[in-house]
Amino acid sequence: MSDRPSPPVFRFAPSPNGYLHLGHAYSALVGAEAAREAGGRFLLRIEDIDTGRCRPEYEEAIFEDLAWLGLTWEEPVLRQSTRFEAYEAALKKLRALGTVYPCFATRKEIIGAIEESGIGLDRWPRDPDGAPLYPGLYKDLPPRELSRLMWEGVSYAWRLDIEKAKTLAEEKQGGPITFQEDGAGPRGETGRLAIEPELYGDTIIARKDVPTSYHIAVCVDDAAQGVTHISRGQDLFYMTHIHRLLQVLLDLPEPIYRHHPLIRDETGRRLSKTAKDMGIRELRSEGLSPQDIRAMVGLNEAERA
């Protein structure tokens, strides 16, 4: 048996809910280049758990655009829509640990509770993505009331009890939980960083009809695929606090993270699928080359910070 260490594993994991734009091109190229420089493997994963928005034509376009950029990846490509049993198993483990609870609150109820708090929606604390922190409705329901609501089929989501989850994870870890950031967060955060999952409050990690969320799925799949290095945009930096917490609770390995700057338009706004910003397909149709795309995202110059 060889003692040679396994090569590092990198991945690019887009969602087929729209066409790729320049920001996706940058992220994919950065990850593929990092894998090449490290002598590692490069994977493509299709994150299609949002079955209502994901479309086959968008998935096919992902393959076409990435191949046009000159990227190659290992086959077969993992699709999250085939992995719900694995995510449900992870959710069951979190339930057994007592770190999640069902929340029956509607968005209207949550906003109403915040407005009635005396603090007001405009001054209510928000998570890094700008959403109001959950005010704790239904968190400590008596078992009898909880059973009644579930029996009646009231829709609910599974929320992570952040305080309880962090306490348990630190007990398992034997101390504070950290992650290695080889890039930089939005405020320049880098190096060995302590997690602060409380920034998101009791975040949703699954729903009644979909036994997962981005948080569970990405952690479970990265572990299943042996991903050792995660390269992604700075818009996902703070989610790493949740992901490291889940990795400890679920006994999953810790990858190394590298968050890179976002590609923005001339006003400073980050590109998005919903705004149909600078799609790779459109740029291709205008006659641009893969080298032109690299130049547009700054990869023909010195590597960006």
How many structural domains compose the chain?
2
Tell me the two tokens of residue 116: 């009635």
For residue 238, is it within any domain? no
- pTM (2 decimals)? 0.91
pLDDT per residue as tens digits for the range 272-303: 555 455 689 888 888 989 999 898 887 764 34
Residues 102 and 138: beta-carbon distance below 8 Å: yes
Q: Which domain holds residue 299?
A: 1-82+263-305
Distance separating alpha carbons of residues 75 and 45, to the nearest angstrom: 10
Instruction: Please say which residue of 175, 198, 225 terminates a domain.
Output: 225
| Residue spans of alpha helices (H) in 81-123 | 84-96, 107-115
* Cα distance between residue 280 and residue 24, in whole Å: 9
| Domain endpoint, select from 196, 225, 254 | 225
Measured CA to CA, the distance from residue 103 to residue 204 in angstroms comes to 9
Q: How distant, in Å, are the alpha carbons of 160, 181, 182, 231, 259 from that of 255?
A: 22, 10, 11, 10, 13
Residues 182 and 76 in one domain: no
Which residue do the tokens 């870890």 mark? 173
Q: Are residues 36 and 21 in the same domain?
A: yes
> Do 221 and 102 share a structural domain?
yes
Query: Given a cut of 70, is residue 46 above it in pLDDT?
Result: yes
**8 A C-beta contact, residue 206 and residue 215:** no
Classify residue 116: in a domain, yes or no.
Answer: yes
Q: Are residues 158 and 206 in the same domain?
A: yes
Pairing of strands 178-181, 157-160: unpaired
pLDDT digits (tens, 9 = 90+) for 65-91: 999 999 999 999 999 999 999 999 999
pLDDT at 126 over 50: yes
Least confident range from 115-119, 156-160, 208-212, 238-242: namely 208-212
Both 51 and 90 in one domain: the answer is: no
Looking at the structure, tell me whether residues 281 and 206 fall in a common domain. no
Residues 38 and 12 in one domain: yes
